[in-house]
Amino acid sequence: SNYVQDGEVLGKGAQGVVIKLKHKESGKICCLKQVFLKDSSTMQLAQVEMDIMTKLKHQNLIQCVSAKIHRNHALIQMEYADKGDLDSILKTSLSEKLLLNIVAQLTLGCHYLYKNRVIHRDIKPKNILIVTKAGQPLFKLADMGLSKLLDKTDDQTATQLGTPYFMSPECFSGIPYDYKSDIYSLGIVFYYLMEKVLPFKGRSYENQKKIVVLGTYDKIKSSYFSDEAKELCYNMIQKSTTKRFNHQQILTSNVMKQTMVELRQYYALIGADDVVLQITDF
């Protein structure tokens, strides 16, 4: 390979590691994610998922450069995010302008996934990475398709991965879910960014399931944000999937108007004509 390890281990989980790599000639940085596959059925699933991942191309998704299976590991080479993940900015005070920008960008990413029949299923701050492009932050969803693999990897993932604070009521209830489940998770991230606390914080998996399915939460108290922004957030975390906003409703809501104008200019500036077209279609 033309890449050498850059010394840094970026993440370590129950399922594998993420290593930072550097290209020998160009010096370009990328990441290598190694996921342990416990049996042949998981390997087959991994192959399917990896084929999907390498085909997905959007500015608001972490690009999967290549993916292969070596022995009993999936090796996934991905674009490197120079600014870390969303967790790293959670503690700072964020303007409404930036928050709307984050939500709009990630909604565009989700909409692209939906168009390609992919549900992320694990949207949370750790899976939202930040890359600087043309002096501005691009927010990207990472780990598409991996949640399916991890489900198969271990029956204990529920306990290992801790309490799923960003999981939708329909996922908890085991009823069929669709893209609206991703919108719910994104809404929880939005709430968390505004309020710095989670709307539903259970003591355990079972307790989390109970309070999410019940669906009662405290309204956002922070006075830094407009009622329109809060209202958008509440519409994204509606318990009922029919009442919950879809991509179109989020991106065409009044509070998003200015954000969408600016984003359209930004995507044009960085040469992302596909996203400019995507925005035009809303």
Q: In whole angstroms, what is the distance from residue 128 CA to residue 82 CA? A: 12
Tokens in use for 280?
């035009």
Question: Which of 148, 203, 166, 28 has the alpha carbon at shortest distance from 87?
Answer: 166
Tokens in use for 244?
């919950």
User: Known catalytic residues?
Assistant: 122
Residue 205 amino acid letter: Y
Tokens in use for 202?
């259970």
Question: Which of 134, 144, 128 has the alpha carbon at shortest distance from 186?
Answer: 128
Q: In whole angstroms, what is the distance from residue 256 CA to residue 97 CA? A: 9
Q: In whole angstroms, what is the distance from residue 46 CA to residue 148 CA? A: 9
